[in-house]
Amino acid sequence: MSKNSWNHWWPVLAVLGSVTSLGVGTSLAKQLFPLVGAQGTSALRVGFAALILVCIWRPWRWTLNRQQAFALLRFGLALGCMNLLFYMALRDIPFGLAVAIEFSGPLAVAIYYSRRAVDFVWLALAVAGLALILPIGHDSGLHLSPTGVACAVGAAVCWALYIVLGRRLGQIPSGQAVSLGLLCAALVVVPFGVAEAGVKLLSPSILLFGLMVAAISSALPYTLEMMALRRLPPATFGIALATEPAIAAFMGMLLLSEHLTLVQWAAIACIMGAAMGSAMTRPPSKPQAETAAKSAATAT
């Protein structure tokens, strides 16, 4: 492979590596559920991820005014609720389906802000995918837990809010925004984890496993995506990121023995197609804050 070809492809591979790392880390995290529950696992993941990113970015180097501090607090609260609800969804529904449902959040934001005729095609495709998953008068979805689906839908709403609030962070550096945002998210998630698991969270083996999960599913993906963001146009980045539901489903099958039906795979394909189509037809000028917020969603 020539140097020019490598320079062209490695940012795409970095995004795919990020999505794969996130899938592996989340699959490993689900194995902690029998020990500390979904809330306890989420607390470990978010808490350690916040510590890792604070050490990397050292956000105290930049000062914040009151308006920026409140914006970061709202941003972090949305991030914390998104993480908590997503992990609670994983208790009851397969990983790939949870990610597919959650993806409807940022897709809805992209379509809402664009409002072009072609976006109705992607909206229809996404609705078709969700109709194949959600247990609403459809036989293929009746075996899915309504609680799990509701949590995944809640995570999708929080992801949408997270992106909208990310747009309002102004000139706050992305590293500072995500590290402090995760600290605020930990304020939401950790109390639920302590209530669920108590002193079990302090077990050395569980703490070590939680640290590994946080590194694989947060610190590494975020680093890879930040490297790719500087070199990829938003459309290419969005298309690569849209592979996440399929990779999550594959990781769930490989590491968690979560086997999906053909209808559920078709639903994932519809939602991925909607996300990729939206990315390909998106106007070229997008606010950098929104792109950074989408990247920072690797914290989920």
pTM: 0.89
- Is residue 224 within 8 A of residue 237, CB to CB? The reply is no
How many Å apart are CA 295 and CA 288, to the nearest integer? 11
d(CA 91, CA 158): 18
For the CA atoms of 12, 16, 21, 26, what is the dihedral angle to 10 degrees?
140
Looking at the chain, which runs of residues are DSSP E strands? none
**Cα 172 to Cα 165: distance, rounded to the nearest angstrom:** 13
pLDDT score, position 287: 44
Nearest CA to 21 among 279, 227, 293?
A: 227
Distance CA 294, CA 66 (A): 24
- Alpha-carbon distance of 8 to 192, in angstroms, equals 44
Residue-wise pLDDT tens digits, 59-73: 998 889 999 999 999
Per residue in 228-243, pLDDT (tens digit) is 877 778 778 888 889 9
CA distance 27 to 31: 7
Delimit the domains of the chain by residue range.
8-299
The pLDDT profile of the chain, 300 residues, written as one tens digit per residue, is: 556 666 667 888 888 999 999 999 999 999 999 999 999 999 999 999 999 989 988 999 888 999 999 999 999 999 999 999 999 999 999 999 999 999 999 899 888 887 788 888 999 999 999 988 886 555 544 578 889 999 999 999 999 999 899 888 878 887 888 889 999 999 999 999 999 999 999 999 999 999 999 999 988 887 788 778 777 787 788 888 899 999 999 999 999 999 999 999 999 999 999 999 988 887 765 444 444 444 444 445
